[in-house]
Structure 1
Amino acid sequence: MGRAEERRARQRGGRRAAPRRRRSAPTAGSAPAAAGTGTAAAGTATAKAGSGAAAAGAKPPKGRIRRLFTWKKILGTFFGTCLLIIAAFIGLYLYVDIPEGNVAALRQSNVYKFSDGSVLARSGKVNREIVDLSKVPRKVQLTFVAAENKSFYHDVGVDFKGTARGLINTLSGKGKQGGSTITQQYVKNYYLNQDQTVTRKLRELVIALKVDREKSKDEILAGYINTSYYGRNAYGIQAAAQAYYHVDAERLKVEQGAYLAALLQAPSQYDWAVATPTGKRLVKQRWNYVLDNMVEEGWLSKAKRDGLTFPEPKEPKGAPGLGGQKGYLVELANHQLEQQLMRQEGLTQAQAENAVIEKGWTITLNIDPDKQAALESAVKSQLTSKLDRKKRRVDGDVQAGAVSVDPKTGKIVALYGGKDYYAHYYSNATRTDYQPASTFKPVILAAALEQNATTQDGQPITANTIYDGTSRRQVLDHGAKVGFAPPNEDNRDYDKITVQKAMNASVNSVFAQMGVDVGMSKVMDTAKTLGMDTKGMQAVPAQTLGSMGASPLEMAGIYATLDNHGDKVTPSILKSAENKTRSVPIPDAVGGSVISRTTADTVTSVLTGVVDDGTASESVAKNPLRGGRQVAGKTGTSDCNRSAWFTGYTPDLVTSVGLFGEAHKSGGTGCEGVPIKKGAHVSLTGAMGGGRVNGGGPPAKIWAAYTFGVSHKTKFDLNATQGAAVEPTGTPTVSHSPSETPSQTPSSEPPTPSQTPSKTPSQTPSKTPSQTPSQTPSQTPSSEPPTDPATEDPLDPAPGIGRPPQE
């Protein structure tokens, strides 16, 4: 090899050694050459030495790093660490003893106070009755094992993998635990608490190991099912059996036991009486999971399992000491405190509930005792005192709910959940299973103004924009029918009508078209921004009639945001919450701007017209108690007169009142000719001896009797240039011209309709509208209802029923 090759080999880091040159025996004539070669080799060796020194100075040899981190050292460190952990655990095991069971002692009364500090209620009596495991059917026992810990009868009381995961979650701030065995959960319930700390988790692990050694599996299982919280203020399986199925634990069936076992994961969310559709779906999934696990473990035959149907629980009963409105107020306060603990401390719902119920909290509510008394008095004078279920069956079906909010602070100052917490367990103030109907129309207008939307012929949508108010007019999207043609109340035609007057008279055809003009996805986005829970809702034209579900609490929040000039209001009943160990920070109920002040104030301006010249004028505008106050609001009456609403506001108070038809017993047939079951949604028509119950009737009367007695500020401070509260500044713009002259010509000032309720679409429109159109439709609307079966009006009542349209 030549010197150049040797140098290149060295530069390659010795990855390939230079081949040695073959030496031949020297001859006499070659000696001088050999000598010369030796001299050259010496020089080469010197060069190699110099090159190696230079390399050593530039980068340390890899061998040195390898000597520092050898496999022996790495393994030694690993095993040394393991030994330290084991030694620490042994020390912890020897140090921690099984404490005395103190679960009863930890149950302390929660004290609930009004905003002025006076006591509203105390809840502290523990609803528990310990039962021997022999009193619980064996297959019911196994439902809990199948739900929580299939290896219960074989493990040592601890799931080390799940515990490690829980520790990592705690250390990383995720909070949510998982993988606990029945033994660990029993230890947490009976010996420890729900604190989410590493120390508590380690103590739980050690105590669980010791409990598993000292107690039988039956003792542990009995302790677990007797100490767990099942919701409905029920602790233990005996109280739960009574609360949900009105039987003793020994009479529970396996399918009922599977429901109670499933319930432990999230008692409030899975309580069938108050669960949302999502909650019902999830608890059914878990119920099936429990029974499938029993089949898998050989504890239940496949044939028996296939024959089981979901056992819907019985009606709940209120807890002692919470009669009247107290239970509804306490229930919402507990719920909002649980939500804060879940957000701030990373608790699961079940953990949050267990951390709140009877844990010695002093909870002060924002409820003003004077306003609360005034609201209860208004409901009594305007509604309940006029109901007589002995004379009229329908009077027993009337349920009322109301929420009153201070728009500047977001405080819930009064709430009406029903006539009595014992008689009607779940709150009408927070239920979301009835349609808000036309109280949703202001959201459509807000979306139009906020998006600077235009009609399909390019005209900006304002309070003065003129629409075609023909009843059953087909809604168009760029000239194409979307399969939706809602009738107006009493099927009345309004011909050309401004948005302002359409809001006053609650003209369905106008707002259905406006929703498509704006884009229904944008309308639903605005609803969500204002505070409506739109999860699972489709962005279809039928939603313009308020065909989704909403609660008085939600609607009060939406209108409070409008009253607060577009700054988001999330109504809060909590003023403070503290116990011996901590105080929970209560976030500000008023947030930043979610829609512009101009948009919010313009909607308010338009809504003053509903009160002064529209569907609420008789009950509100002409009320002798009004005293010059400016009032904005909107009525609503849903399909088949199942619900009636008035949500309105003065500058300093927002109140949403809803009346709901809920069958108090089974019998008869409903609007669709279907047999009525107890609890079904039914019509309010005929209540109190009258005809239809409209939003401008009892709901508006309750609102006025309450609001005009407690509100003070009289004038809105509006940043608006249009709407009923200000003088018009421009000429109206026409959006559409009907292709035919309507058969009925309205007067220039459309009279206030009689607020006939309606029928909401029973089928989803065949097309979802696109976003705001930018061109004139190629097809002008017709004043005649459609005859094409593919696009037939989904609101058209069935023959012979003749139900009026929704207002």
Structure 2
Amino acid sequence: MGRAERRRAQPRGGRRGAPGGRRSSAAAGHTGIRRLFTWKKIVGTFFGLCLLGMGAFVVLYMVIDIPEGNADAKRQGNVYKYSDGTIMARSGFNREVVDLANVSKPVQRAFVAAENKTFYKDAGVDLKGTARGLFNTLSGKGAQGGSTITQQYVKNYYLTQDRTVTRKLKELVISLKLDREKSKDHILAGYINTSYYGRGAYGIQAAAQAYYRVDAEDLTVEQGAYLAALLQAPSQYDWAVATEDGRKLVRNRWNYVLDNMVEEDWLDRSERSGMTFPVPKEPKGAPGMAGQTGYLVDAADAALKKQLVADGTAEDAGQADALVDAGGWTLTLNIDKKKQAALEKAVRARLTDRLDPKEREVDADVQAGAVSVNPKTGAVVAMYGGVDYLKHFTNNATRADYQPASTFKPVILAAAVEERAETQDGVPITASTLYDGTSERPVVDGGREVGFAPENEDDGNYGDITVQTAMNKSVNSVFAQMGIDVGMEKVMETAGKLGMDAEDLQAVPAQTLGSMGASPLEMAGVYATLDNHGRKTTPTIIKSAEHRVRTVTLPDAIGEQVISREAADTVTSVLTGVVDDGTARAAVRDNPLRDGQQVAGKTGTSDDNKSAWFTGYTPDLVTSVGLFGEDDEPPHKQVQMYGAGGEERVNGGGFPAQIWAAYTFGVTKETSEFDLETNQGAAVEPPSTPSATQSPSQTPSQEPATEEPTTAPPSQTPSQTPPTQPPSQTPTTQPPTQPPTDPPTFELPGDPDDPEQQQQQQQQQRQE
């Protein structure tokens, strides 16, 4: 018997021989899995699926033909309507097809370098990029990327921008066929003539005119590289309206395009090193978009594009641009025709008619922006974007590059009430809580100075004052300390809840001065949420959006309760004091058109007078008005507005409050009062005495002042009698100079944000 036979004849033991001559269940199960998943079966299945996929692809290739250009490629305009259904505007398409021979070879290659370096060598598709796009589409991740120039041209001209597996497969097949049947020059010409470049420009000829005022044949390599870079994100990369980050990104992409050209030997390295970024010219508005129309149309388009990305219809901003600008939309806006006309009239009468650039150069640098919102629905019923869309492209109503200044102070108070915050001495923060209003008083936290000591407007000192008075007078030192008492993280969190874009803002004490950027649209939303008793109210310009092949569901502008009604109503109550006894009283309280209407609001003036604001509201209407100093000459830097309109200083209680009052009281039909659930603030019966608390800056060794406050400057000794001083002098404590039977008096320094007090000070100084 051989060795093999003897081994087979031996009884099996150990792991091979289970008791009773049967294998264990675990071994049996393991063997069963092996039988089911053998390497032969796995490999066979893989190759079978590959063959099946190849067969399916062959069928698709045979079935799918190159179609005619789609309807979107032939383009139709959008229609824009007022809220009552009447036509506001129609948009057309700015496109002129040019032969590739009219575009220089270096500019052609710039587009190839930007989008598809292997264009002249590949078969029209990028299988890896397409597979990634299919996977992202199936998994809901959205962004695709990796498409060749041929694929992008097919998507633009033969198909649609829809994000579906079917469309992606069609794109793949048609791209392969097109690459076999047409020349690379034909495909490249189609690509640069059908792509969207922003500014309403379709195709390279329209883009060359829109950005550089030249024909496509006259574009330099630098200019061509910029236009090629634009295609990735036309809205984000338009130099005229791009953010600082957007400008950095497009400059980086411009460098990327030129570096790729050098790498492919399409551009000499020495020539590349001498190139400078070609800053585009200022945009020109399209015909029919004069006045406020262009601003309204742009704002509606921007809102629609944002929604298309939010609901997944578009993968990114670039595709949203293409979907909206492809046309076929009928957009009904929330804009009320009568209120829109009234707002334009108010700005003209209270501001632009008073500006005379020939007499005062600074008058040419004043820009106005305003947004009016229905707080119960969130509808943007009126918007003022600038003097004329054809003259000033940037929409001042939606720009967020200027400081909102003291209009941010109500957010701090809202956070204090919402969080039931306390002062450094453990006293609850209410409208009657006392704070030290001394200018440049160091802000403290737990007995330590935090390195922040803001100056009050014109360095005014107020001594111990209530929160209500501090809001009325817009006292920086009080709200800086309150921000620390609440916690700056909580303050910024509340700002975000109310509607500010506070996600990327640092929670630092300087933010209490409103040092971040904000737009009138944004601030109108914040105050609308306060007016709506703490329910999130998002300003919404689009009433409905209709399209022949797609539907868009707009989100509800009224959201959930983001802060308590008590907190919102308390802020509203306090803000009535700003109107009745604060910085807005001259323009609003004493306005003959007011007719008893209850109003809440807040002024704001940046310390360098580059911006001035008034955001105010009635129970039925919220309107934010901002004035911005912008150099009339490119590159349009922020500038100061001192002396504009013949005023020594442009402040929130001046032109902005006057515009607000002329508009609001002009469109208000019936007087109304706020329905407030609070026992604090100027709108309710005040308590008999303010909350007893030390100001945070006082030390235990200090004794409470018993002398009569006066307006004597700090350098005077207590023995001096108070001379006659302007209201802006610093209050100090002095012994009483009147008989004890006379009632004490207390006079706060004037607030420079209040034009009435400013005029009184000037008159008094002239008399002296």
Q: TM-score, normalised by structure 2?
A: 0.88
Distance 1:218 1:603 in 2: 65
The residue that corresponds to 2:95 in the other structure is: 128
Deviations 1:757-785, CA, capped at 9 Å, x for gaps: 9xxxxxxxxxxxxxxxxxxxxxxxxxxxx
Q: Which piece of structure 1 moves more, 485-494 or 226-235?
A: 485-494
2:636 counterpart (666, 674, 679): 679
Structure 1 residue 10: deviation in Å?
6.9
- The one-letter code matched in structure 2 to 1:527 is A
The residue that corresponds to 1:242 in the other structure is: 209
Maintained 8 Å contact 1:410/1:590: yes
1:319 and 2:286 equivalent? Answer: yes
Maintained 8 Å contact 1:342/1:352: yes
**Structure-to-structure mapping, 1:353-752, within 5 angstroms:** 353-665=321-633, 678-711=635-668, 712=670, 714-729=672-687, 731-736=690-695, 738=698, 743=714, 744-745=730-731, 748-750=746-748, 752=750
Distance 1:279 1:347 in 2: 19
1:753 and 2:747 equivalent? Answer: no
Q: Which runs of 5+ in 1 are unaligned?
A: 1-8, 18-47, 666-676, 758-807
Deviations 1:424-464, CA, capped at 9 Å, x for gaps: 11200000111111101111111111122222222221111
- Classify the secondary structure of the residue corresponding to 2:428: coil
Distance 1:11 1:375 in 2: 97
Distance 1:626 1:498 in 2: 27
Maintained 8 Å contact 1:501/1:750: no
Change (3 A) 1:129 1:58: closer
Deviations 1:306-363, CA, capped at 9 Å, x for gaps: 3333222211111121111111111111111111111112521110110011421111
Structure 1 residue 150: deviation in Å?
1.3
1:107 counterpart (65, 72, 75): 75
Distance 2:299 2:204 in 1: 25
Deviations 1:29-83, CA, capped at 9 Å, x for gaps: xxxxxxxxxxxxxxxxxxx8x8125x47897475555444433333332222222
- The one-letter code matched in structure 1 to 2:677 is N
- The one-letter code matched in structure 1 to 2:109 is L
Maintained 8 Å contact 1:637/1:755: yes
Structure 1 residue 678: deviation in Å?
4.6
Q: Which runs of 5+ in 2 are unaligned?
A: 1-10, 706-712, 715-729, 733-744, 756-768
The residue that corresponds to 1:51 in the other structure is: 20
Structure 1 residue 288: deviation in Å?
2.5
Distance 1:112 1:362 in 2: 6
Structure 1 residue 119: deviation in Å?
0.9
The residue that corresponds to 2:15 in the other structure is: 13
The residue that corresponds to 2:122 in the other structure is: 155
Structure 1 residue 175: deviation in Å?
2.7
Maintained 8 Å contact 1:187/1:204: yes
Distance 2:320 2:404 in 1: 31
Change (3 A) 1:368 1:430: same
Distance 1:526 1:749 in 2: 34
Maintained 8 Å contact 2:435/2:464: yes
Distance 2:261 2:26 in 1: 69
- Classify the secondary structure of the residue corresponding to 2:201: coil
Structure 1 residue 160: deviation in Å?
0.6
Maintained 8 Å contact 1:471/1:492: yes
- Classify the secondary structure of the residue corresponding to 1:222: helix
Deviations 1:84-142, CA, capped at 9 Å, x for gaps: 21111111111111122346764112111111111111112x21122222322322222
Deviations 1:258-310, CA, capped at 9 Å, x for gaps: 22111111111111111122222222222222223223333334433333332
Distance 1:524 1:61 in 2: 60
Q: TM-score, normalised by structure 1?
A: 0.84
Change (3 A) 1:62 1:538: closer
Distance 1:186 1:745 in 2: 73
Identity of aligned residues (%): 68
- The one-letter code matched in structure 1 to 2:156 is N
2:267 counterpart (296, 300, 303): 300
- Classify the secondary structure of the residue corresponding to 1:471: coil
The residue that corresponds to 2:86 in the other structure is: 118
Distance 2:360 2:274 in 1: 42
The RMSD of aligned alpha carbons is 2.1
Structure number with bigger Rg: 1
Maintained 8 Å contact 1:605/1:726: yes
- The one-letter code matched in structure 2 to 1:377 is K
Distance 2:26 2:113 in 1: 66
Distance 1:175 1:87 in 2: 28
- The one-letter code matched in structure 2 to 1:745 is P
- The one-letter code matched in structure 2 to 1:224 is Y
Distance 1:97 1:444 in 2: 63
Maintained 8 Å contact 1:613/1:752: no
Q: Which piece of structure 1 moves more, 73-82 or 162-171?
A: 73-82
